Amino acid sequence: MNYDSRIDAPIAVETVSDENPLLTGGDEDRASRRRLWIIGAVVAALLVAVWFFTHRSGAGDAEQKVDKGPVVSVVTPGRTTIAGTINATGTLFARRELPVGVPGEGGQIVSVLVEPGQWVGAGQVLAVIDRSVQVQQQASQSAQIQVARANAQLAQANLDRALKLVERGFVSTADIDRLTAQRDAAAAQVRVASATLGVLQAQTQRLNIVAPAAGLVLERRVEPGQVVSGGSGVLFRLAKGGEMELRAQLGELDLAGLRAGISAEVVPAGMDKAFSGQIWQLAPVIDPASRQGIARIALAYSPELRPGGFATATITSGTIVAPLLPESAILSDDKGSFVYIVDKENKARRRPVKTGIVTGNGVAVVEGLSGNERVVLRAGGFLQPDETVQPRSATN
């Protein structure tokens, strides 16, 4: 008996979605996840866009704030005690230079007794001129004095004898007058001869070249054997008392603010050592070509101070109490000097000022500022009056 045996196997039924009738259930899950990722990416992009535009707006606001005005450095100077100084240069000289030449008729130099750099006293012999001829002239004149005195004695004796005889009537009055005249003439001859000898002695003394005052020998221009005369010029140069001075060249504006007695520090070229002095004379005239004058600074003797050398001087020009500003803060135009100050509304205001002492730290403002203002330190030349600025405090 034949039986048809049939085993029915399970048949897979394919699920058909509404969106895609061909997708199975697993494919639908994967599609859902993709949709979620896409949505997340879009949300993240939106958040980034919102953050970017928010911060871009803040940066724009900051730029707008900067555009409200330039940033400037300001300082409140206050009031300072300022010691003014003036720097100058010049040449060293002997304060009182004494040129010494031949005072008499001159002759041949026999000896020179001093050297440059040596101290001498008033009247000290510097050099000796040959005097052999003058010695003989003095001897001759001394003999003439003796002759004149002998004649005077004889005339006096003749007069005395005549006076004794006049009482007896042997000598007339006329003879007495004649003998008296002879006696007086002989006495006068003695005085003449003595005066002539004095002249010769004085001329001989002038053959010694002497120092007119105590001081330092700066220069010697004569040697033994040299023949000199009144036309030979200067033989020695002395610095009276050894005192020196610096003749500093100054502009007429600087000279106007100085006076005698102001102290100064002088530094010779090539040295670090400073020498204290003071102004003892200001030039009464100004050089019309250079517009400069001379301030003469007296200095005590020191071996380092050599006449003819170059030196610099720092002169104290006075002390004031005033605001002190750097040169960059002070501007000028055809109306004069001015500064910019920043008011409470942050507006740059022009303020006319008058400057005074100039120091290494700045310029004193003697008029126009009280010291409590906020002053623009630099870049004021680029500002306009009443311009809005952003002040930033700075150290002067």
- Asked if 263 and 219 sit in the same domain, the reply is no
- Is 17 part of a structural domain of the chain? no
Q: Note down the domain range covering 266.
A: 88-95+242-317
Has residue 216 got a pLDDT over 80? yes
- Categorize the per-residue pLDDT at 52 as very low, low, confident or very high, splitting at 50, 70 and 90: low
- Last-in-domain residue among 268, 290, 317: 317
Express each pLDDT in 170-211 by its tens digit: 778 888 888 899 999 999 999 999 999 998 888 888 888 999
8 domain-assigned: no
Task: Tell whether 280 and 332 lie within a shared domain.
Answer: no
Max CA pair span of the chain: 244
Q: Do residue 52 and residue 28 come from a single domain?
A: yes
| pLDDT category of residue 56 using cuts at 50, 70 and 90 | low
Both 186 and 295 in one domain: the answer is: no
pLDDT, average across residues 12-31: 51
Shared domain for 189 and 225, answered yes or no, is no
What's the pLDDT score for residue 1?
40
The domain boundary residue, chosen from 264, 296, 317: 317
Same domain, 137 and 201: yes
Residue with more model confidence, 130 or 257? 130
* Higher-pLDDT residue of 4, 73: 73
Q: Is the pLDDT of residue 125 over 90?
A: yes
365 burial level (CB within 10 Å; 0-12, 13-18, 19+): buried
376 phi/psi in degrees, rounded to 5: -70, 125
Residues 373 and 377: their CA atoms lie apart, in Å, by 12
* Distance set, CA 319 to CA 81, 108, 262, 324 (Å): 7, 60, 12, 12
Based on the fold, state whether residues 229 and 290 are members of the same structural domain: no
For residue 38, give both structure tokens: 């896409």
Residue 352 lies in a domain: yes
Q: Within a domain: residue 4? A: no
* Secondary structure (3-state) at 304: coil
Q: Which percentage of the chain shows pLDDT scores above 90?
A: 41
Look at residues 226, 241, 256 and tell me which one is the last residue of a structural domain: 241
| Domain membership flag for residue 10 | no
Q: Decide if pLDDT at 36 tops 90.
A: no
Distance CA 246, CA 281 (A): 11
Average pLDDT score over the chain: 83
At 262, phi and psi to the nearest 5?
Answer: -70, 135
| Lowest-pLDDT choice from 64-68, 156-160, 354-358 | 64-68
- Please check the confidence at residue 25 and state whether its pLDDT lies above 70: no
Position 306 scores a pLDDT of 92
200 and 171 in a common domain = yes
**pLDDT value for 88:** 92
Domain shared by 104 and 232, yes or no: yes
Q: How far apart are CA 285 and CA 291, in angstroms?
A: 10
Q: Are residues 368 and 337 in the same domain?
A: yes
pLDDT over threshold 60, residue 85: yes
Q: Specify whether 232 is located in the same domain as 118.
A: yes
List beta partners, residue 207. Answer: none
CATH code assigned at 367:
2.40.420.20
Q: pLDDT tens, 272-293?
A: 899 999 999 999 999 999 889 9
Q: Encoding tokens for residue 374? A: 């906020």
Per-residue pLDDT at 16: 44
Instruction: For residue 196, give the nearest of 140, 151, 153, 155 by alpha carbon.
Output: 140
Q: Does residue 166 belong to any structural domain of this protein? A: yes
Q: Is residue 6 part of a domain?
A: no
Asked if pLDDT for residue 241 goes beyond 70, the answer is: yes
Average pLDDT of 318-323?
81
Residue 2 lies in a domain: no
Higher pLDDT, residue 371 or 30:
371
Amino acid at 364: A
Based on the structure, what is the number of domains in the chain?
A: 5
DSSP string, 171-204: S-HHHHHHHHHHHHHHHHHHHHHHHHHHHHHHHH
For residue 387, CA distances in Å to 71, 271, 346, 380, 383 come to 11, 52, 8, 11, 7
Residues 268 and 331 in one domain: no
pTM beyond 0.85: the answer is no
For the segment 61-65, the average pLDDT, to the nearest whole number, is: 48
* pLDDT of res. 194: 92
